[in-house]
Amino acid sequence: MVAQQRRSLWGELLLLFNLLWWLWGSEAGQIRYSIPEELDKGSFVGNIAKDLGLEPRELAERGVRIVSRGRSQLFSLNPRGGSLVTAGRIDREELCAQSAPCFVSFNILVEDRLKLFGIEIEVTDVNDNAPQFQAETLDVKINENVASGMRFPLLEAIDPDVGVNSLQSYQLSPNKHFSLVVQSRANGVKYPELVLEHALDREEEAIHHLVLVASDGGNPPRSGTALITVTVFDTNDNAPVFTSPEYRVNIPENLPVGTQLLKVTATDKDEGANGEVMYSFRKLLDTQLLKFQLDKNTGEIKISENLDYEEMSFYEIEIQAEDGGAYLATAKVLITVEDVNDNSPEVTITSLFSPVAEDSPAGTVIALLNVHDLDSGQNGEVTCTISGNLPFKLEKSIDSYYRLVTQRALDREQVSSYSITATATDGGNPPLSSNVHFTLQVADINDNPPTFSHISYFTYIPENNPRGASVFSLTALDPDSKENAQIVYSLAEDTIEGAPLSSYISINSDTGVLYALCSFDYEQFRELRVQVTASDSGKPPLSSNASLTLFVLDQNDNSPEILYPTPPTDGSTGVELAPRSAEPGYLVTKVVAVDRDSGQNAWLSYRLLKASEPGLFSVGLHTGEVRTARALLEREALRQSLVVAVQDHGQPPLSATVTLTVAVADSIPDVLADLGNLETSQDSETSSLTLYLVVAVAAVSCVFLAFVIVLLALKLRRWHKSHALQSSRDGLGGVPASHYVGVDGVRAFLQTYSHEVSLTADSRKSHLIFPQPNYADTLISQESCEKKDPLSLLDDSKCPVEDAPLVPVSVDFTFSLNNYGQIYI
């Protein structure tokens, strides 16, 4: 019951302290709490969420965390309740020793706002330590002739607690010779002195046993005891005396081990054993005892371990000098350790926000740095800088924190990452420094549109291109990264001759390659203008445009078109008049033609392809004018037929022909009269012409038959000598199948021969060209009539130039040879 009431009382006191300290901290700009020491792990310290103006759930969302250095984490955050709790058992004496009050300071960082809040917690003392003497037995040596009132200093008890919980009083067990007096030093430490009240007699009692009790002022109070053994010696009337009651020395912390700090000296006027002085440490903690070494004979004090200013800067040592008798003397040695610049400053990254958007405004916090130096004074004054011409600067924050903020605008396309070196330098001589390196990535934003290398492009494509042919490739570049640099190509909507542009040309949205969707016709349109848009995939997307002009190149795909003379619609041939009195060079007519192509594909040339009367007419090469080449004679035929070819200069060239009929007469009535006479004479000569034709064909056929018979006879004779009849049949198997016909099991060899026979009413003018293949729709040039070796019916090797017109007749003969050597026509 008593324990519960005590625990309740402590809880109420804790809440009261927290309230008072919070009010004080709010006014001072810091958050302050107060807790007693020795609380269990997880004990409530304060409602940090409320004091920060946050909800408990926001502690994790905003990245609220504790940042501290130099000691283990004593406190932690409870994200559920939003409270600050203890992370373990807290011992005030371990943290602050005898210092009062005892404060623990750290910072709380709100990550998303990069704001630091100072937290200061006072750890109050509880009476958890009893006073304790350094030794359980205290030895006091006294000469028997010491006068009453003599005081003998005793070792004081040590209580780590402070305030009322610290050492408050000493009590001595009842006896008849000694009393106890409590003294206080300048620093407030109480120590006991044993006072001789009545003279001693060694022979009566050589050793006295006393009990010394040290008590604190806690509730309940605690105490510690020590046994005092007083040994009575024979007479020794002089005590040792130090040359100085207090020795002071200042030493740097980097003195090597073994260095002599100072030498204490005490003298005793006695002689012999009573005058020999021995030195020893009277009051020294175990941790301090390892640091120094005292020569008991000479009084020299040396360093036995390395000193560290940052660990302890001041030592107070009490040394006693004892003679061979019962007397002793004490002196203090005050050692001040001076700081030297032996610790390099440390710089740590508390928070780093990477990557940072390139459009971050000036003053955006990038990182939070903490600098620390274990040295003190000027040696512990640390400045932090960053090297290089960087768009950042350091700003001093609270305590030893620095904020790294942007100084000007960033551009990822120029610099995508920064290697930053933060240097911490102390104020020592020479100064020491340390570095920390980190890399800051710059996050891309869509601030650059895709760009083409040119505003406009030109390309060429020949007409009649295949569908799907690649026309051109455009490439745009975007200096952004990832999706901000993914480019999509498209064509602006447009119409060409009423049809959408998308029916003529398309573009690959990923590669920018343009394809023709149809075959272009130069005669339909000669150029195509399109606008290409390149858009990135950013949010929002950016785009740029470029124009492409596609020129269609002409190909020779159109034959010349004859405009004059126009072909009659009734199937007749138009007639041009040429008077018989016309002089050479007389313009009979003019052939007019055009070509839909352009350039040299449209350059036309004219030539006379065929004429019924060679040499009578000529055609202008470039003009198409038909003129008489010589004077007309009376024997010239009335009707002259001319075939004029018009050809372009393309590759390959294309051509067209037109047939002209020229009537040789002075007037239309003359033309009609001459045509009547011509028909009468032709009827009378028809029988003679037929006779000549039959005779010529029969003669040629006989000669050919005789040749074939002789050839076959020779072949058959050779076959009979070397092969049997069956082998002869197999020999004919090599002849192409198209040259054989089979009738009733008899295979016949077929060969077709074609001959052109030209006959006139005058048999002297008739001639036979042999052999001459006759192909349909083939124009016979004038040169074919002038061959040197035709098979002619007359000795005249020239083409006829008389009035009688030539009548072309084609005669085909088919010969067949069966297996028995019989020939069939």
Rama region for 76: left / alpha / beta (φ>0; ψ in -120 to 50; rest)? beta
Averaged pLDDT for residues 216-235: 88
What is the DSSP pairing of strand 83-86 with strand 75-78?
antiparallel
Q: CB under 8 Å to 646, separation ≥6 — which residues?
A: 560, 562, 591, 593, 604, 605, 606, 624, 655, 656, 657, 658
Residue range 96-154, pLDDT digits in tens = 877 778 888 888 888 877 788 888 899 888 888 899 888 889 888 888 778 888 888 88
- The pair of three-digit structure tokens given for residue 400, joined into one six-digit string: 């030893």
Predicted pLDDT at 638: 83
Task: Please list, in sequence order, all residues whose beta carbon lies within 8 angstroms of the beta carbon of residue 245, skipping any fewer than 6 positions away.
Answer: 331, 332
**pLDDT, tens only, 471-508:** 999 999 999 888 899 999 999 988 888 889 888 899 99
> 631 vs 205, 580, 673, 674, 799, CA distance in Å?
187, 8, 22, 19, 19
Beta bridge partners of 414: none
Tell whether pTM > 0.75: no
What is the radius of gyration, based on Cα positions, of the chain?
A: 67
* Tens digits of residue pLDDT in 570-606: 545 568 888 888 889 999 899 999 998 888 888 999 9
> According to the model, what pLDDT value does residue 162 have?
86
Overall size of the chain counted in residues: 825
Indicate whether 247 pLDDT > 90. yes
Residue 312 in this model has a pLDDT that exceeds 50: yes
Q: For helices 668-722 and 725-732, give the axis angle rounded to 10 degrees.
A: 140
Which of the four pLDDT bands, split at 50, 70 and 90, describes residue 675? low
N- to C-terminal Cα separation, the chain = 151
Q: pLDDT band at residue 234, thresholds of 50, 70 and 90?
A: low
| Residue corresponding to tokens 């055609």 | 619
Amino acid 142: pLDDT: 86
Pairing of strands 639-648, 655-664: antiparallel
Q: So what's the pLDDT on residue 573? A: 56
Average pLDDT, the chain: 79
More confident residue, 437 or 817: 437
Lookup: tokens for 568: 């009659």
Q: For position 587, what pLDDT does the model report?
A: 92
For residue 803, give the DSSP letter. Answer: S
pLDDT band of residue 53 (cuts 50, 70, 90) is confident
Of 79 and 24, the one with more pLDDT: 79
List, for residues 427-467, the tens digit of each pLDDT value. Answer: 888 899 999 999 999 998 988 899 999 999 999 999 888 99
pLDDT at 127: 87
pLDDT at 565: 87
Q: Which has more pLDDT, 688 or 54? A: 54
**Residue with more model confidence, 155 or 760:** 155
pLDDT at 778: 31
Which two structure tokens, joined as six digits, stand for 272? Answer: 């012999």
Q: Which two tokens stand for residue 87?
A: 């992370």
**Per-residue pLDDT for 288 more than 80?**
no
Query: In what order do the strands lie in the sheet containing 392-396?
Result: 346-352, 365-372, 401-406, 392-396
pLDDT at residue 498 in the model:
82
Closest CA to 305 of 355, 268, 346, 254: 254
Give 351-380 pLDDT, tens digit per residue: 898 899 988 999 899 999 999 888 888 888
Q: Give residue 114's pLDDT.
A: 74
Percentage above 70 pLDDT, the chain: 79
In this prediction, residues 208-220 reach a mean pLDDT of 91
Long-range contacts of 781-786 (CB under 8 A, 24+ apart): 781/609, 781/610, 782/608, 782/610, 782/611, 782/614, 782/615, 785/614
For 184, half-sphere exposure in the C-beta direction (CA atoms, 13 angstrom radius) is 6
Task: State the pLDDT at residue 570.
Answer: 53
pLDDT of residue 670: 62
Mention every residue, 6+ apart, whose C-beta is less than 8 A from residue 529. Answer: 547, 548, 549, 550
What beta strand segments (E) does 463-574 contain?
470-473, 476-477, 487-491, 495-496, 499-500, 505-507, 513-516, 527-536, 543-553, 561-564
Residue 176, pLDDT > 70, answer yes
Helix (H, G, I), strand (E, B) or coil at 128: coil
pLDDT at 794 over 90: no
More confident residue, 233 or 437: 437
